[in-house]
A and B are shown apart, each in its own frame.
Chain A
Amino acid sequence: MNPRHRAFVGTALIAVALAMLPLVVGGALGNTWVRVLDYALLYIILALGLNIVVGFAGLLDLGYIAFYAVGAYLYALLASPHFGLHWPAWAILPLGALVAGFFGVLLGAPTLRLRGDYLAIVTLGFGEIIRIFLNNLNTPVNITNGPQGIARIDPISVAGHPLSKPIEVFGVTLSGVMLYYYLFVLLAIAIVFVGIRLQDSRIGRAWVAIREDEIAAKACGIDTRNVKLLAFAMGASFGGVAGGLFAGFQEFVSPESFGLLESVMVLCMVVLGGMGHIPGVILGGLLLTLLPEAFRYGAGPVQQALFGKVLLDPESLRMLLFGIALILVMLYRPAGLWPEARHRRELSGK
């Protein structure tokens, strides 16, 4: 086989595997796990967006979840009985990208001339501000419905069919979560494609140059301020799209989904997987959504078997191990589990 054929066969195999996955998982483990896969895909989309900011351009954003929140609430407000608006998802999602991108520029414009760790704190503060506003904007005019959140959001529809309803194809019943899986997989592939094209583009190379040495990048004629702003806005708009998908998928949003911990979680996917390396980020996203879920179901029974009772609350045990993993990975594999070749060389030869 010549290389072209091999690439074609490889792609086809991956496509078939991705198509079969929810059926196999759904059959073997039940729809709960297909739902977990859906969340994993959402997080991968989110992590790929943050990867542009943190991985490519080297700007530490600790409030990334705020853009996710903006996208999610925009969807919730425009497609729910809360305001009686029922816009189609395909109009809201691009709008969400725009609005989140606008917020990105709004935050980035004044702060991007700051040094890295200051930027981290400002973005962290911004994330908290957004959350506080979501929590409190129910008086005097009820915009966000406060801590109760917004419920009964319209599901995403494709060709007039809401994805939350099961559908029968060739005698196989595809449940709602499976339909969402296919939508998310397609979008994730599209975003991976955009990410790869961006990485190799003139802008992508400018981002990497800024990450490696901002002064040198400036000396090479890169308009560092605008290029950084572009990274920030682009990352934010990915977050906005992911937020819209989340709102449509979950049909409910509330401020508590957008805490600092979520920002940290997405950041960890990028960092643990391998900053700036798209396959690594996907791996990080998968690991950090699937492992904790497995843990949630596994930790209780395992402790029961070992000690005869549940000694540690699985939820906090999960977070505990997560924190320890962060420290260990930074100490022993600072470039992540699956780093980009260029990045790896440079860190080992410090």
Chain B
Amino acid sequence: MPLPVTIERSERIRHPLREEGPGGGGPIIASVDIFLQQLINGLTLGSIYALVALGYTMVYGILGLINFAHGEVVMIGALTALAVAKMLAAAGLPAPLVLLLALAAAALVCMALGATIERVAYRPLRNAPRLAPLITAIGVSIVLQQVAMLVWGRNYHSVPQLLPAGSHEILGAQITEVQLIIMATAALTMLGLMQLVNRTKLGRAMRATAESPAIAALMGVDANRIIMLTFVIGSALGALAGVMVSANYGIAHYHMGFLLGLKAFTAAVLGGIGNLGGAMVGGLLLGVIEALGAGYIGDLTGGVLGSNYQDVFAFFVLIVVLIFRPSGLMGEKVAERA
């Protein structure tokens, strides 16, 4: 039966380095520099994965549930920001203000979306068999994707240049300002989140709920509120990540959420799902593995496999981690939960 076909994402989401050269060949750089270049690309990509992975891992830590729809929330964030940015830029506002307002709008939309998803699709099923929320999550993903397609169409949208376009050279490798900004913002955001979780009253309530909802409730924590806030914070991080992805690749698309979500989930599992630090480490590591893998697979296999296998690495990493260390790299703390 004909179904809407999944566009070849693997052809679209590719390394900035790969997209520069004609036919995906990439510029010819000496071998040490390729390593450094791919490392930089990988760290950029990895900080985005880490931000998305935080959304998965926070929800998993508290509910023991894979929020399958998170990738689509990221997609909605990216497209909302893009639409707002285009509108404001047309009105003639200065670029930094446009960026901030677009980001704020995307964050608000995603936070509302996250809260709604939790309320409608997950809360009624909290005591249901494990399969049930997973299936509603798939339903939510499909709905979000189709809504996005109806609103924004099937086309790829190019992202206006709002961030400075310059680049710096380090030891022969290029690092663009966009990459620098992405990495810095991601690092700051993660630092802020750590502070929130470890230092504030809300954070303490979140950790208590993750440990035991019933006992946290006895201590006066409103579990429903905490769970909803967790979704809201995760979605806001997702919106930020969505904006970063579209800034990094220069395109946004209604289908961008699926693969990104899957990889971010892999990152969360790699670091140890339910563990915030783990999500960050896992995200960065996965980004670097992917970038280096895509850069070297051609040489390693004598040209048999090319960088079009980049997307395979994430799944390969996932399967290997789950076989040899299912609790992830930093997962001891939550290994026996749920």
Contacts and interface: CB of A to CB of B under 8 A. Distances in A.
Interface residues of A, number: 59
B265 A347 contact: no
B318 A327 contact: no
B131 A326 contact: no
Nearest to A119: B322
Interface in A20-74: 36, 39, 43, 54, 58, 60
A111 B326 CA distance: 10
A316 B146 contact: yes
B315 interface: yes
Contacts of A120: 66, 134
B63 to A, nearest CB: 11
Interface in A251-299: 256, 259-262, 264-265, 267-268, 271, 275, 289, 292-293
Given A117-B134, A121-B318, A324 B4 contact: no
Interface stretch (A97-105, A125-133, A186-194, A301-309): A125-133
A124 B262 contact: yes
Contact of A116 (B130, B143, B309): B130
Contacts of B306: 136, 139
A330 B125 contact: yes
The A interface is mostly helix, strand or loop, or mixed, namely helix
Given A116-B130, A147-B8, A293 B322 contact: no
Nearest to A128: B315
B322 A122 contact: yes
Contacts of B308: 132, 135-136
B326 A323 contact: no
Nearest to A109: B323
B311 interface: yes
A323 B4 contact: no
A216 interface: no
A140 interface: yes
Contacts of A126: 315, 319
A271 B318 contact: no
Nearest to B318: A125
Given A126-B315, A129-B312, A334-B132, A117 B139 contact: no
A12 B143 CA distance: 43
A60 B134 contact: yes
Interface in A306-350: 312-313, 315-317, 319-320, 322-327, 330-331, 334, 347, 350
Contacts of B318: 121-122, 125
Contact of A326 (B66, B142, B149): B142
B319 A261 contact: no
B229 interface: no
B54 to A, nearest CB: 17
Interface of B: 1, 3-6, 8, 10, 65-66, 120-121, 124-125, 127-136, 138-143, 145-147, 149-150, 258, 262, 265-266, 269, 303-306, 308-309, 311-312, 314-316, 318-319, 322-323, 326
Given A327-B136, A350-B127, 4 more contacts: A60-B131, A124-B262, A125-B318, A323-B140
Q: Across the A-B interface, give the 5 residue pairs with the lowest CB-CB distance, nearest first.
A: A326-B139, A323-B142, A125-B315, A323-B143, A327-B139
